[in-house]
Structure 1
Amino acid sequence: MYISLDFESKEPIYTQLVHQIIAGIAKEELSPGEALPSVRSLAADIGINLHTVNKAYQQLKQEGFILIHRQKGVVINPDGVPQADESYMEKLEANLHPLIAESICRGVSKDEFLTLAGQLYEKFKQKEGEV
């Protein structure tokens, strides 16, 4: 999986890293049980501070995307990502709320919003190389 960070973005580097790893899992570019680079190795490979990678890995661990073993290292959760529960749905609603409000303020229709959301959803469901 290729990781591309925008060092000029207002979004923190660790958040970008978390989002890209989650996207890799969603697109099935990363499989359950697959090893990820160590904190030190990934930090060196992409040229960022190891504490930034550690923060991203800790967040991914808390959310159930990865497991961190002392001997095996960092792996994608072999049991898969925990399924959406009430807590996740509340978090999803909280994240969507400001996006929908801003979209309405900017004149984006419900159909345009839903179409865009649907297109993005389908991009994640497509396998590599499919059109």
Structure 2
Amino acid sequence: MLLEIDTQSQTPIYQQICNQLIIGIAKNQLQAGEQLPSVRQMADEIGVNMMTVSKAYTSLKADGYILTDRRNGTIVADRQSPTSQFQEYVSERLDLLLAEAVIHQVTEETIQKNVKQIYQKFDQ
């Protein structure tokens, strides 16, 4: 999986890395147990500082998306069951996103259609 970094984006590079890896996992482009490049390799491949990749990996590890082991390197973690804390996090993010949609007069029908289309992109 080749990551595409947009240096002109308002989104920090480490967050772009996190977002793309999470999407790759959700789309089954990255499988549980699959080896990820080392921090150094990833930084070289995408042309960013090693500390940026390290920050992304640390964040992904804290959120349970990847596992690191000194002997085996970094691998994709198994899919997780939703905890109440995660469900609350999703609800809060949706609340803000839907508030923005309402302000921009996006209809509920359009939102539901978009959610269905996006959700279908991800393998269950």
Counterpart of 1:2 in structure 2 is 2
Partner of 1:36, secondary structure, is: coil
Counterpart of 1:114 in structure 2 is 112
Q: Deviations over 1:45-93 (max 9, x none)?
A: 100011110011011111111111111111111xx12211100011001
Residues 1:22 and 2:22 aligned together: yes
* Deviation for aligned residue 1:123: 1.4
* Deviation for aligned residue 1:111: 0.8
- Which amino acid is 2:6 matched to? D
* Deviation for aligned residue 1:21: 0.5
Q: Distance in 2 between matches of 1:68 and 1:108?
A: 42
Partner of 1:68, secondary structure, is: strand
Segments ≥4 residues shifted beyond 4 Å:
none
Of 77, 82, 86, 2:80 maps to 82
Instruction: Name the count of aligned residue pairs.
Output: 124
Q: For 1:11-90, what aligned pairs fall within 5 Å after superposition?
A: 11-77=11-77, 80-90=78-88
Unaligned runs of 5+ in 2: none
* Deviation for aligned residue 1:125: 2.8
Q: Distance in 1 between matches of 2:123 and 2:105?
A: 28
Q: Distance in 1 between matches of 2:105 and 2:123?
A: 28
* Deviation for aligned residue 1:97: 1.2
Q: Distance in 1 between matches of 2:14 and 2:111?
A: 28
- Which amino acid is 2:101 matched to? S
Q: Distance in 2 between matches of 1:30 and 1:6?
A: 21
Counterpart of 1:93 in structure 2 is 91
* Deviation for aligned residue 1:96: 1.0
Note the aligned Cα RMSD (angstroms).
1.1
Unaligned runs of 5+ in 1: 127-131
